[in-house]
Amino acid sequence: MKAAVSWGSLGSLVATAMVVRAAVREVLPPEAPGALRALLARAAAALAQPTDAIVVHEVDANGVPNELYDAAQLYLGARCLASAPALHLHKAHGAPEAVASLPDDHAASDTFRGVRVRWTSRSAEAPGGGAAHHYAPFRGPRGLFGAPGGGAGRQQRCLRLEFPRRHRDVVRGAYIPHVLAVAAALRLKMRERKLYTNNPMFGGGGGMDDHQMLWSSHPFAHPSTFDTLAVDPALRDGIRADLLRFVRRREHYARAGRAWKRGYLLHGPPGTGKTSLIAAIANLLEFDIYDLELTAVGSNSDLRRLLASTRPKSLIVVEDIDCSLGLFDRTRTSPPGQGDELDDPGTPLPLRMSPYPPRGRERISLSGVLNFVDGLWSSCVGERLIVFTTNHVDRLDPALLRPGRMDRKIELGYCKGHALRVLAKNYLGDGDDDSEPADDCRLLEEVHLTPADVAEVFMGCDGDGAPAAMQKLVDDLKSKMIAQNSAGSNDC
């Protein structure tokens, strides 16, 4: 009888459980069982091993933005939110694409060196109890919010990083630097690169920092790359290797006690591709360009201010340095073109120091330019290239050309067969870099034609087809050769 009662009670219990289970399924949403299982799993994990946590506030007690918070949000948006059920998207004006970040009261997981960590975004009381907000507002992902003079208990966003306690050293010593490094690389790729030019030095501007006051900017979108350069392939590959080696050697420069910079002098006749090479360098390294107009700089002190206000990862360019200032060779008894016969009668004479009148201060000098290139002020910015261009390298003072100032001198010459192949591919889509030019284009070895001249011919033949464009180039070469031979016979 007792056995019969026990089995009957067991049957009633099972039936009751089935009824309760069916009722729960009817009342609770379908996501509830999964959430319950996840909660139980977290509870079991917490019981299995102790955890530590790092709290990263958006701003500090003085209202200063926390770089680690911004870096972590950028890192999470790029690495950990691909399958997130919710995320926050923000697109800044001019940015190429929207940036994802972790919304409030949401979590994301990440794995680093086999260690699983968990990030949670939440609101918390500001450091310092809110008193600091008498001086500075909060800065959120949607811009500034809040107002000066806020009371105690003001909330701000923060990120909570949880991880197993036994992996504390890995997280603090390696994972956090990893997050910062990845975020820095992402910012570099996402930023809109700029072309800066210096403003006239007419005094300060209220409310602006030195960079805003001294430089005006425009988006940089020049299409030149190393693959489209009409230069000798060996020279092109050597320049590219030298640049990539430079950007990888920060520790080497620091160990040697040298500023992390490199100087290039590009010289050659007009139209040989100096400007295109500068644009290709900027595109390869993803640097901003600072186009420095020396004739608009009033004094050596202004030149130092301009240099100090540039930013890292920049390419500082001074084009036609021989025409910007009187930096001719001081060992000559007179400036070029005065008292000497020029090799090229059509070569313009060098300009004076500056076309602008002095403003009651010293004018910019060769000494100021030399200090700009490699003096104490040249080490105040960071990773940087300085590029000078000239059509007449023989006119420059040797002091400007010595190693340490101009570390590499690159001569760009007239168009030859290899340059013609690249130009034909760029403008006509004809053949590949390894194909030989037409036999008649051997005239390039006898007639001086710049890549700009060849490009002009090809641009004028747009739509006519490659054979017609090449024939037009050959006709031009023959005409120039006849004119060249006639001029030579007349000289005799």
Instruction: Give the pLDDT confidence of 120-177 residue by residue, as tens digits.
Output: 998 876 655 443 333 333 333 333 333 334 444 567 889 999 999 999 999 999 999 9
Looking at residue 122, what is its pLDDT? 87
**What average pLDDT does this structure show over 429-440?**
53
Specify whether 225 is located in the same domain as 312: yes
Specify whether 270 is located in the same domain as 383: yes
The full length of the chain comes to: 492
- In a domain, residue 82? The reply is yes
- In a domain, residue 304? The reply is yes
Report the CATH number at residue 394. Answer: 3.40.50.300
Specify whether 177 is located in the same domain as 313: no
pLDDT surpasses 60 at 477: yes
Pairwise CA distance, residues 139 & 188, whole Å: 22
Specify whether 106 is located in the same domain as 247: no
Strand partners of residue 410: 266
Looking at residue 147, what is its pLDDT? 36
- In a domain, residue 10? The reply is no
Q: Is the Cα torsion angle 423, 428, 434, 440 positive or negative in sign?
A: negative
Specify whether 111 is located in the same domain as 234: no
* Mean of the per-residue pLDDT values of the chain: 78
pLDDT surpasses 60 at 27: yes
- In a domain, residue 39? The reply is no
| Domain boundary pick from 411, 427, 459 | 411
Does the pTM exceed 0.85? no
- Condensed to tens digits (0 to 9), the pLDDT of residues 62-86 reads 888 899 999 999 999 999 988 888 8
Q: Which range marks the domain in which residue 179 is found?
A: 44-141+152-190
- In a domain, residue 38? The reply is no
Alpha-carbon dihedral angle through residues 229, 232, 234, 238, given to the nearest 10 degrees: -50
Q: How many domains does the chain have?
A: 3
Longest dimension (CA), the chain: 139
Alpha-carbon dihedral angle through residues 374, 375, 379, 384, given to the nearest 10 degrees: -30
Specify whether 231 is located in the same domain as 355: yes
Specify whether 332 is located in the same domain as 201: yes
| Lowest mean pLDDT segment, chosen from 29-38, 179-188, 346-355 | 346-355
- In a domain, residue 404? The reply is yes
